[in-house]
Amino acid sequence: MLYRARIGWWYFEKSLGRLVKWLFVSKEMTNFTYNLEASNRRYLASIVASVTGAPLEVILGYMDELEGDDKLRAHLEQATRQSELSFIADREIRYGRRLGWYAFVRALKPKVVVETGVDKGLGSCLLTAALQRNHAEGHGGRYFGTDINRRAGYLLAGEYSGFGRILYGDSIETLKAFKESIDLFINGSDHSAEYEGAEYAIVAGKLSERAVILGDNSHATDKLFEFSIANRRRFLFFQERPLDHWYPGAGIGISFKP
């Protein structure tokens, strides 16, 4: 029994130590941010390359591009400091699985990106930064975020707000009224399975022919998998492995046409 207990403890020991450290150095209460382990980052790049058809080295280059974007990082740090919600946000900028979101936008060159549930707007800024670079290369695109909380999305400001905006209100009602064809849809609002499934049902008829859906709740529900099967789409899942963080990681469900 003792030997078996030691085996089990080995799996939890590092996480508990990281939890204690996090309690003192982080202010985050939800939507935790972290970097990815090096191998996990490469696995994410490989999945994005497989879905988009872009070479792996190109996808890795897009990720390097984001992580080396000092202008974006400075904007995020300043906007965080100036926000009235800075008491629950860390100043250190960490992207995690959102590296994949950015790479998808850079590789797919979507004209319309929709994200439900923007929280602080970290994803909003990464997505609009990708659209900004696409625009410089001759590929126009717009971002639309939805959130019921009118204080959400405060990071989306300055030049990044020129490539997108937040639509405030219930995401279901907002999606019903949305008229444009969607090239990239990211689900991340109410994390109940019922609400998530309802979002997919609404956008099903609004997706462009080669649209990609990213499910930010696919580590918790199988709704995007079920939607993919029902609509003859392929499904993949990426599981995060955070670097030096107690949280086991979320993931990205990916639904796309073969």
Which range of residues forms the domain containing residue 147? 2-256
Mean pLDDT per segment of 10 residues, for the chain of length 258 residues? Answer: 81 87 91 96 98 98 98 96 85 95 98 96 97 98 96 95 96 96 95 94 96 96 98 98 95 96
CATH number of the domain bearing residue 208: 3.40.50.150
Angle formed by the axes of helices 223-230 and 193-203, nearest 10°: 30
Q: Please give the pLDDT value at position 85.
A: 77
Mention every residue, 6+ apart, whose C-beta is less than 8 A from residue 117.
Answer: 146, 147, 171, 187, 188, 189, 190, 216
Count of domains in the chain? 1
Q: How many CB atoms lie within 10 A of CB 15?
A: 13
Cβ atoms of 55 and 49 closer than 8 Å: yes
The C-alpha atoms of residue 174 and residue 179 are separated, in whole angstroms, by 10
Q: Please give the pLDDT value at position 88.
A: 82
DSSP 8-state symbol, 185: E
Q: Please give the pLDDT value at position 48.
A: 98
